[in-house]
A and B are shown apart, each in its own frame.
Chain A
Amino acid sequence: MTRSSISALFILLLTASLAFAGRTACPQFYVDGVAPDFVNRKLTPKTRQLCNDGYGVEHSGLTRTPLWAAERLTRDGLQRAKGLPRVNSFRPDPRLPVSERAELRDFARSGYDRGHQASLADQHTEASRDQTFFLSNMIPQDSDNNRNLWEGIETAIRNETKRRGELYVLTGPLFQGNQIQSLKGRVMIPTGLFKAVYDPARREAGAYVVANAPGMQYQVVSIAQLEGITGIRLFPSLSAKIRNNAMRLPEPRTYQQRRGGNQ
């Protein structure tokens, strides 16, 4: 085989793998319209893609949680998100088979919060805000983490979006270690969470990684590092240079810290 036919084959294979990775019914939430792809093939059974008005979800019937939620945040969208009244209902996702989905009773009396992956406050229509309350968008999340560190990370990303103009965001759970805790043997409790972002204007990306536990400890990692943890190729269309360099991300602060009060 000649050198040029080898490189032609390589390009063909690369295109084929991107074509596979890119299969999504809601390309508007993904960088270059290309959805993440599974590197760890054990993640693939019982996965289903769900498209909502304001975000896309890859749901796993093994964990009964999302594996990621995808959003494209813009300054304009977030400005429109302000001041909407909120009366909402957590509920199972009727689009999922009963055998694969979480039910409200799974979370009952567990002590765990139902943690949004696509954040409610990112959404700017009544319908899209309502759709963040599907359990297909929820993980069992430590309540201190959900209400303090994670809320701080969500707020930091919204502030970065207002500053930069546009960010693609992927949010999801981490399942590390040989054993996992679960609610009733049905809904897997993530060991951690990630929030990965890409700034298309500055062509830089990075991610927050936190344990699903109390406290304010977090890490900022590159997309390549995060892909090593998740087994998911998160932004398949980005160059190696962007994937290997973690962008600077702001320190998440709780609402008390943001208001200048004491912790």
Chain B
Amino acid sequence: MSKFTPYADESASIEIGSLTVENRLDRVSIFGSIDLTKDQEGLALVLALKELIWEVASELEGMESAGVLPQEVEVEQTVTIANPFK
């Protein structure tokens, strides 16, 4: 998962089993569902998931230690425009 650096870009998207993981500057989105089966495949998936979660956690913990982790991310307001098709 060398290409997936949490919060570094708006581009990277990976699939872990049938989970979708999308990188954003202000969040890492994980959605879908997954079976961690008690077999080789389940082990491979859980290790990938563990690595991802570990990377996310260490990034946020690092920011927290540095005192730069906000209480809550700010979502940008949308801008109202006239419908050009009306």
Contacts and interface: CB of A to CB of B under 8 A. Distances in A.
A111 interface: yes
Contacts, number: 95
Interface in A138-166: 143, 147
Interface stretch (A178-186, A203-211, A239-247): A178-186
B11 A91 contact: yes
Interface in A57-110: 62-63, 85-91, 104-105, 107-110
B39 interface: no
Given A109-B25, A109-B26, A143-B29, A189 B78 contact: yes
A109 B83 contact: no
A181 B80 contact: yes
- Kindly state the interface size class of chain A when it binds its partner: 35 or more
Contacts of B74: 109
B67 interface: no
B23 to A, nearest CB: 9
B12 A179 contact: no
A182 B18 CA distance: 31
SS class, residues of chain B in contact with chain A: loop
Contact of A42 (B18, B75, B85): B85
A85 B22 CA distance: 15
A177 B83 contact: yes
A113 B73 CA distance: 16
A86 B40 CA distance: 19
Contact of A87 (B14, B31, B85): B14
A167 interface: no
B82 A179 contact: yes
Contacts of B18: 255
B76 interface: yes
B33 A256 contact: yes
B13 interface: yes
Given A86-B14, A108-B10, A255-B32, A182 B81 contact: yes
B38 interface: no
B15 interface: yes
B81 A179 contact: yes
Contacts of A184: 76, 79
Ranked 10 nearest A-B pairs via Cβ: A86-B15, A181-B78, A104-B10, A111-B75, A185-B79, A147-B31, A89-B11, A88-B13, A255-B33, A42-B85
Interface of A: 40, 42-43, 62-63, 85-91, 104-105, 107-111, 113-114, 133, 143, 147, 175-185, 188-189, 231, 255-256, 259
